[in-house]
């Protein structure tokens, strides 16, 4: 079994930008498991544990889904939390730009995955770049205050844009030190 997800890798300048935001928020000294810079990405679909046979079918489905799509551009935008500021669990940076193209990619992926046996996702796709996962209430009010303040700064700053040129099938290994990702296959867009 292989723990698998589909994602868009981020260029180094975007990762550095996200890292700066993380470093600023770390000053709250809240109990947050921050995403390591090298692991930052835009998740398109998490598949969980799948067999080697299904993995081959996922790679084929991803190739078909990305075939004929044009490269598109996304931009960082704002700072937020899931599910809300009263009960924050995930800290993220939002995205703008050619979201219609991203949604078309997502829809094509979901349709192909459904054809090979995956369930349709019941929650709406909410594209974001995860900065960290909140573990406890320690210094949480300070963190949420910083998120509100930083959010307006991030929103008014010049966004960092990046071109989406490929979708990657990743393998995720979990360990006590945290996850590590390796590329299974790359699928060109544009």
**H, E, C per residue of the chain:** CEEEEEEEECCHHHHHHHHHHHHHHHHHCCCEEECCHHHCEEEEEEEEEECHHHHHHHHHHHHHHHCCCCCEEEEEEEEEEECCCCCCCEEEEEEEECHHHHHHHHHHHHHHHHHCCCCCCCCCCCCEEEEEEECCCCCHHHHHHHHHHHHHHHHHCCCCEEEECEEEEEEEECCCCCCEEEEEEEEECC
Question: Of the residues 15, 41, 108, 112, which is catalytic?
Answer: 41
Q: For residue 176, what pLDDT is reported? A: 87
Lowest mean pLDDT of 117-121, 128-132, 135-139, 177-181, name the range. Answer: 177-181
Lowest mean pLDDT of 62-66, 107-111, 158-162, name the range. Answer: 158-162
128 in active site: yes
Contact 147, 79 (CB under 8 A): yes
187 in active site: no
Average predicted confidence (pLDDT) for the chain: 93
pLDDT in tens, 144-178: 999 988 776 565 567 899 999 999 999 999 888 88
Query: Which domains, ranges and CATH numbers included, belong to the chain?
Result: 2-188 (3.90.1140.10)
Q: For residue 156, what pLDDT is reported? A: 56
């Amino acid at each position: 079994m292989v723990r698998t997800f589909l994602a868009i890798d981020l260029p180094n300048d975007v990762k550095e930008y996200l890292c700066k935001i993380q470093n600023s928020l770390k000053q709250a000294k809240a109990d947050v498991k921050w995403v390591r810079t090298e692991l930052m990405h835009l998740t398109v679909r998490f598949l969980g544990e799948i067999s080697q046979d299904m993995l081959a079918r996922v790679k084929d489905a991803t190739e078909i889904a990305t075939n004929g799509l044009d490269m598109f551009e996304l931009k960082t935008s704002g700072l937020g939390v899931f599910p809300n500021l009263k009960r924050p669990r995930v800290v993220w940076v939002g995205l703008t730009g050619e979201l219609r193209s991203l949604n078309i990619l997502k829809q094509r992926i979901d349709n192909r995955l459904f054809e090979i046996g995956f369930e349709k996702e019941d929650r709406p796709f909410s594209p974001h770049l995860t900065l960290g996962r909140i573990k406890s209430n320690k210094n949480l009010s300070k963190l949420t205050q910083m998120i509100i303040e930083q959010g307006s700064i991030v929103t008014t700053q010049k966004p960092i844009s990046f071109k989406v040129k490929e979708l990657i099938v990743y393998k995720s290994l979990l360990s006590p030190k945290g996850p590590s990702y390796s590329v299974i296959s790359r699928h060109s867009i544009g």
